[in-house]
Amino acid sequence: MAKHRESITAPGAPEAVGPYVHAVRSGGLLFCSGQIPLDPKSGEIVGATAADQAGRCLENLAAVCQAAGVTLGDAVRLTVYLTDMGSFASVNEVYESFFESDPPARVAIAVAALPRGALVEIDAVVALPA
């Protein structure tokens, strides 16, 4: 592995569903792979609604951050992928509960489909301490 990047595997997050790592640390940033709403123990999709699924995605991202020694509150940008923009408001309610003050920059994108039939996927870029 190159010295300018370090792969992060998070024991508290679900296993990757493809050929990727949970995150890569490089240049003062942590680039977190997208998380779908998988239960870390069973590996199954959890949550019947996009809002419920968004909560699980954010919990999974928090576990990835923790494995790298930071918190989700250190995030500088998140991307939320939704299969139905009609869920935007309900996902925002859950999202806001994770970032009650000083939220990161964010993008929300409508997509045709997500892995394993998920309704939501969220990735993050997180600032590492200097």
- As to burial, measured by CB atoms within 10 angstroms (0-12 exposed, 13-18 middle, 19+ buried), residue 31 is middle
Taking the domains of the chain in order of start, what are their residue ranges? 6-127
- pLDDT, residue 100, reads 87
CATH fold of 6-127 = 60s Ribosomal Protein L30; Chain: A; (3.30.1330)
Model confidence, pTM? 0.96
List per-residue pLDDT tens for the chain, 130 residues long: 568 999 999 999 999 999 999 999 999 999 999 999 999 999 999 999 999 999 999 999 999 999 999 999 999 999 999 999 999 999 999 999 999 899 999 999 999 999 999 999 999 999 999 8
Number of H helices, E strands in the chain: 2, 6
- pLDDT, residue 3, reads 80
Instruction: List strand residue ranges (DSSP E) for the chain, in order.
Output: 6-8, 23-26, 29-35, 75-82, 105-110, 120-127
